[in-house]
Chain A
């Protein structure tokens, strides 16, 4: 039997439309969906060829309970009753990670469970590890934490400024849409990246700053704009506050000083500033419209010990140039995982309720009334803090859904020792990954291809997923598992179990929409009929919103926040560890690789972790292309295969954080954090690289036994 099911790609935050073709309940082909307004008939390699992971033989098929030190199969009743009993013991010392890969419905039920049944706001998700600084800064300065524009605006912009991101690898379909703007509309391109990414070949200006000097660079851009009078005075006057104080801070240094600090050419900096503030009109822009610029950034901005400052300085720039609130401009922190946006929207963050509503009386009252019980008002712990506070005993039990922190946390060896100290750990996922190996109970969840739900992509578009194949083994959708668990625990903590008596994902979504003003106008019926809708969509007849901030910011006026360059990074190179390690992603693997390692073709394409190193450093170290190398930091070591390229600056090396063949960059990275977002500094740490010495036995041909004695 052949079927075609329209759904949404489960990999990155672009949120491409896919059509799953199945024959006899097996996926045979993944087609693109030309009708999808986000992807317009495009996909990347992961969406097109990466989906077979859902049918991988490694999929968990039954619940597992740790008995006599080993994880052993159990029934759902056994497992959930066991979890219920145990978790009741740890109320008050409990934390939970939600999954940015799961659906809005999954996230919503999970946060409801944590807040209502576990009585805590200790819930968070991986945005902590990617864009929390962006969200912090946007909330502080604008009052909302989302990409302000749509992908369409990249095509309508006259200039694109890409900072610390590599859309060609991480958001391939966005990169395609950007290239179409360059090809068809003559859009200008500015790239800021310590690494020469593919798109840099096409850039009008390419700035390659020293690692960790972003604030200096952006203040330098601002200074150029001010010096040349390119700022948008009207916008500043009518829509912002704090300009004078900020201006004074920026003017503490000259363009030359800023450029010097960042290690870039001041003239190039000026050119970039002009292009951003006043780009020449792209082809076909009506003469009546002001040419716009989109400011796009990625984790090269956020994963620093001063990530929030970096984000603030970018938002300051957007306010200064008035490149917000019109078509063809805006600010976009590019989201990594398919549903990071939705997971936060649905309330899986410690400091606010669904829809970023504060724990103040009005908002919380609506929730309490709907849910029929009180909810905690004290903000919870952030993900990185939960892990760090295992040591102090403040966190003793955790419930982790669809995440593998033992691959994504910085300084993995340290993190693993903390997780081992947990008294009770539940992991709910598709595969038995590094973190699940340590769990007391493992619950098998369904993949996206087996369930109903919605994902929200980087442009705030809420899109449906639909079941294409039957559930694998006894796996169940995340929301269903958690609701079942909640029903078992609710009576014991004085909650009405009917609060968790959902009959379908659609019912969950209806409650989420009712409680969240920005989603209130949406329903499955509408999403099925119209396709994805962009929030805010407050009423059933509202068409959704292409760009935010047209006439006001959620906090009223946009706020300039002075920022100054501080120490470039917590750990800088020295004699012992002379190189700077930068981490990121690659096209062919997604995130830590837990999923893509299970797709044969993706592994065939890239089976070793590559390390990019500048020819000069390589020559000094005697390293040639393809050599096996060992990378060490103060925290650990990994092996990689050398790629000698001048795409990186001398003195820097680049490693994607996928784990292949037991090697992963996060054995090296530093667990120091940005305040206030608490993001770890993945992007900069000091390392030493050496050519891996061939094993003596391979050289001498001596038999292994000859070596055993020594």
Chain B
């Protein structure tokens, strides 16, 4: 098969092939080691003239892929602008490993300011001692949920609600600390926007646990 003119082996999904060639393509809802979700739609490419999501299209059936066709870029731009609509302020927290993916995608598609009206959301969950959830930057990509349900098989969180009331939700709409969450952090590691973010790692201690008070 051919990708942007390069001859290559058709193995796995289009996204696998594209990334293996070192071609940059946003894939905000696809984690390296998790099954595709197909929610973000930022990985659109033109495959034999059709627009498809690269992350869940098998490479085998495709002859030619263009990641940089005008059509593909335009559509990705439009999707990113819709994404930006809900992507509120995102802090620069040190520590999140996969942060910056969305910013990189904006930059690669020449998007500075979102042109659609924003849709602000504001739920906050600080209940876990280990990490926090801020809905504001959450783009509902679903990676956290897949990490919790299909990687760790814990199922402490889900996305509850339809349409614009969909929201990352712990348990039956309880705080993380009251859910089945084991604080494994796989959701935090998966989040591309710092909506889930670690509390700064702290090695400090509380009274009663210092050795000076022992014995």
Direct contact of A and B (CB under 8 A): yes
Interface: B50 (CB within 8 A): no
Interface: B122 (CB within 8 A): no
CB–CB A32/B203 < 8 A? no
Interface: A394 (CB within 8 A): no
Question: Please, which residue of chain A has its CB at the minimum distance from the CB of B215?
Answer: A437
CB–CB A49/B151 < 8 A? no
Interface: A552 (CB within 8 A): no
With a CB–CB cut-off of 8 A, which chain B residues contact A182?
Answer: 153
> Per-residue 0/1 for B183-215: is the Cβ within 8 Å of any A Cβ (1 yes, 0 no)?
111101100000000110111111011110011
Measured CA separation A2–B176 after assembly (Å): 30
> Per-residue 0/1 for B47-74: is the Cβ within 8 Å of any A Cβ (1 yes, 0 no)?
0000000000000000000000000000
With a CB–CB cut-off of 8 A, which chain A residues contact B186?
Answer: 32, 41-43, 48
Looking at chain B's contact residues, the main secondary structure is loop
Question: Please, which residue of chain A has its CB at the minimum distance from the CB of B95?
Answer: A29
CB–CB B184/A42 < 8 A? yes
Measured CA separation A662–B186 after assembly (Å): 33
Question: Please, which residue of chain A has its CB at the minimum distance from the CB of B201?
Answer: A52
CB–CB B211/A600 < 8 A? no
Interface: A31 (CB within 8 A): yes
CB–CB A176/B97 < 8 A? no
Q: Which of A23, A27, A432, A587 contacts B211 (CB 8 A)?
A: A432
Interface: B182 (CB within 8 A): yes
With a CB–CB cut-off of 8 A, which chain B residues contact A43?
Answer: 184-186
Interface: A11 (CB within 8 A): no
Measured CA separation A54–B202 after assembly (Å): 11
Interface: B77 (CB within 8 A): no
Interface: A391 (CB within 8 A): no
Chain B nearest CB from A468 CB (Å) reads 13
Chain B nearest CB from A521 CB (Å) reads 28
Q: Which of A225-233, A507-515, A603-611, A646-654 contacts B (4 or more CB under 8 A)?
A: A603-611
Measured CA separation A44–B201 after assembly (Å): 15
Given A29-B95, A601-B129, residue A49 in contact with residue B198 (CB < 8 A): yes
- Total interface residues on B, using CB and 8 Å? 34
Q: Which of B129, B184, B209 contacts A597 (CB 8 A)?
A: B209
How many A-B contacts if CB must be within 8 Å? 124
Measured CA separation A58–B209 after assembly (Å): 11
With a CB–CB cut-off of 8 A, which chain A residues contact B188?
Answer: 48
Chain A nearest CB from B175 CB (Å) reads 13
Given A32-B189, A42-B186, residue A598 in contact with residue B209 (CB < 8 A): yes
Measured CA separation A30–B185 after assembly (Å): 9
CB–CB A598/B203 < 8 A? yes
Measured CA separation A34–B183 after assembly (Å): 18
With a CB–CB cut-off of 8 A, which chain B residues contact A506?
Answer: none
Measured CA separation A570–B189 after assembly (Å): 48
CB–CB B205/A29 < 8 A? no
With a CB–CB cut-off of 8 A, which chain B residues contact A23?
Answer: 94
Question: Please, which residue of chain A has its CB at the minimum distance from the CB of B198?
Answer: A29
Given A34-B32, A431-B211, residue A27 in contact with residue B201 (CB < 8 A): yes
Q: Which of B95, B184, B209, B214 contacts A45 (CB 8 A)?
A: B184
CB–CB A604/B129 < 8 A? yes
CB–CB A601/B208 < 8 A? no
CB–CB A603/B209 < 8 A? yes
Measured CA separation A28–B95 after assembly (Å): 5
Question: Please, which residue of chain B has its CB at the minimum distance from the CB of A436?
Answer: B211
CB–CB A52/B202 < 8 A? yes
With a CB–CB cut-off of 8 A, which chain B residues contact A54?
Answer: 203
Measured CA separation A603–B211 after assembly (Å): 14
Question: Please, which residue of chain A has its CB at the minimum distance from the CB of B206?
Answer: A603
CB–CB B183/A605 < 8 A? yes
CB–CB A172/B202 < 8 A? no
Given A21-B95, A31-B189, A607-B206, residue A172 in contact with residue B184 (CB < 8 A): yes
Question: Please, which residue of chain A has its CB at the minimum distance from the CB of B203?
Answer: A52
Interface: A56 (CB within 8 A): yes
Task: Give the 8 A-B residue pairs with the shortest CB-CB distance, closest first.
Answer: A179-B153, A48-B185, A52-B203, A29-B95, A604-B129, A34-B33, A601-B129, A45-B183
Chain B positions within 8 Å of A, measured between CB atoms, are 32-33, 94-97, 129-131, 151-154, 182-186, 188-189, 198-199, 201-206, 208-211, 214-215
A-B contact pairs, 13 of them (CB 8 A): A21-B95, A30-B201, A48-B183, A48-B189, A53-B203, A179-B152, A182-B153, A183-B153, A434-B215, A600-B203, A600-B205, A601-B199, A662-B208
